Chain A
Amino acid sequence: MISESNPLRDTAGAAPPPVPPLDTRQIMAIMISERMEVLMTELRRPLRVQRPLPQVTALTAPFWEATREGVLALQRCTACARFHHPPVPLCPECHASGFEYAPVSGRGTVYQYTVMRQARVIGFEDLVPYTCLVVEIAEQPGVFVVGNLVDAGGARARVGMEVELRFEPYGEDGLQLPQFAPAHSTGA
């Protein structure tokens, strides 16, 4: 903010004292200090990530509801007991259409990943660079869940890295977003 003693802005008071004329150097110093204020405000601003919220459907609602309790639950066929993610209307394995959502441990292995180096996704500019993991879940080979790499302490993602589940607040409605951190047991 501009200090109250700023002679260019100080117009309060019934009888302001006469303002001495400013030379060019003084005016420039004031302009620079104003810019610095803006810059410092920007630097102090917390990272702001605007993650899009899900358009929840009957098929996906149990996934998101479970996150409120801090549980990662995936769709599972009641006939063949295989997990599917994203959820499907018909089991690709046995073509049955009865499903439940069952909790999984959230442990898994990084199957593939990318590190985004450019601000080319609206809402994620402040997060650059950020890592997106495709994690193969421990419960069933060939079932993948996406997450960002969090709590990595500077560790880089790599294919084959063991990870475990984290949740972070997501939106204003009590949802939580499943994320992945390097697994403690292996020390990543």
Chain B
Amino acid sequence: MPISNRVAIVGTGFSRIGRHLDASVGELALEASRLAIEDAGISFDDVDGISNYPNPSRLGAGNVDGVDLVTVNYMVRTAPLRNLRWSCSITQGTVTGSLVEAVHAVACGACNYALVYRAMFSPPGAFGIADVRIATGDSQFTAPYGLSNTVMMWAVPYSRYMALYGATREHLATFIVNNRHNATLNPEAVFYGKPVGRDDYMESTMVAEPLSMLDCDMAVDGCGAMIVTTAERARDLPGIPAYVTGCASIGVGYDNAPVLTLDNFMNSARILARTTWQNSGLGPADVDNLNLYDGFSYFPLLWLEAFGFCGEGEGFEFVQDGRTALGGTHPLNTSGGALGMGRLHGTPQIIEAVRQVQGRAGERQVEGCEVSLVQAGSPLHGSGALVLSKNA
């Protein structure tokens, strides 16, 4: 039985977001959770379920609970959550995957109010230094070539996209500038008040061709949190529910290759998109607001194609001409996305989608927004998607 609006997201919250904040990431997770709980109009004691994607937010993080990652155990102990009946930590699908798990748990009665959060840690010093001394497992076919840094891994499939379809940096500039413009309308964004122009993007320092600094989201300390409950309970709460019309969590590439290929990305993206539309009974024509994961700038182009908003190889043209800007036909990443809000995994997508269908997105509000699409994650880490609706 599909979810069909039987479950809703009723509260959201962001902690402070910034570079090297004077607060532990555990403190930020509690801060975001408290805000989400207050936003929902419930109390900590009402929370009887918790779901999380706890993976360290960078390679080789020290795994110190509450310091550079925040496990469910940390939250249960520190919040504290005295009435817990259900908990879940996933390794697949990032925060969207953990949200989909919570939706399912609430739908089947495993818990009444599930807290979902994703806490991110910005390490001191240079970010993304790869240090591989022994090439283990499949990395023995990549690391000896110096192909270890995350930006490189994600640069590789995009080189093929550009060559196949004729996408250029000028095309992507439109998307980047639009995201950063949206962030200037979002006081919670790390780049609030800091727009970039096309020239800034074109002159951005190259990291791993074809990706430059401005193609990568910036590491931050911060946390986003949400509260999930049944539609029935949602109606008794003070706020406006964002109903979950359909969701899916899979999206892992299955082709065997030493690095992710463009084909593998698209294969897995198409499976997630198809399942999301099937589970929601809706399609691209029904969506008023799109929130597609942009940890690296070109991802949304591929997801636009996978979800059928445009044909394959057309995503870079689709984002031109104001089509995906606020006021356009397909407003995309209206929160500023990860490129505008900071490296918070999918929370800039999820929380924005909720607020858009709630009609609470402030200056970024898409007029008459009834249906919002969220996707976050990647074909390497798993990916999830939700269709959220204003009306049950």
Contacts and interface: CB of A to CB of B under 8 A. Distances in A.
Given A60-B140, A146-B259, A116 B146 contact: yes
Contacts of B163: 158-160
Contacts, number: 136
Interface string B133-174: 111111011111111110110011101100110000000000
A92 B140 CA distance: 20
Given A51-B144, A84-B256, A121-B146, A112 B151 contact: no
Nearest to A128: B146
Given A53-B134, A122-B132, A127 B256 contact: no
Contacts of A177: 144-145
B207 interface: yes
A142 interface: yes
B202 interface: no
A52 B143 contact: yes
A176 to B, nearest CB: 11
Contacts of A122: 129-133
Q: Which of A49, A113, A114, A158 has the most C-beta atoms of chain B within 10 angstroms of its own C-beta? A: A114
Interface in A15-66: 49, 51-56, 60
A144 B132 contact: no
B392 interface: no
B147 A115 contact: no
Contacts of A118: 205-208
A88 interface: yes
A102 interface: no
Interface in B194-239: 205-211
Secondary structure of the B side of the interface? mixed
Given A120-B130, A120-B149, A144-B261, A112 B159 contact: yes
Instruction: Please classify how large the interface on chain A is, using the bins under 10, 10 to 19, 20 to 34, 35 or more.
Output: 35 or more
B72 interface: no
Interface string A140-159: 00101111100000000011
Contacts of A49: 146
Instruction: Please classify how large the interface on chain B is, using the bins under 10, 10 to 19, 20 to 34, 35 or more.
Output: 35 or more
Nearest to A50: B133
B368 interface: no
A159 to B, nearest CB: 4
Contacts of A113: 156, 159
Interface of A: 49, 51-56, 60, 84-86, 88, 92, 111-118, 120-124, 127, 130, 132, 134, 142, 144-148, 158-160, 170, 177
Interface of B: 126, 128-138, 140-149, 151-152, 155-157, 159-160, 163-164, 205-211, 255-259, 261-263
21 contacts: A51-B143, A52-B143, A52-B144, A54-B135, A54-B140, A54-B144, A86-B258, A112-B156, A112-B160, A112-B262, A114-B208, A116-B207, A118-B205, A118-B207, A120-B129, A121-B130, A122-B132, A132-B147, A146-B145, A158-B163, A177-B144
Given A114-B152, A120-B126, A146-B147, 15 more contacts: A51-B143, A53-B144, A85-B257, A111-B261, A112-B156, A114-B155, A116-B149, A117-B209, A121-B130, A121-B146, A122-B130, A134-B259, A144-B257, A144-B258, A146-B258
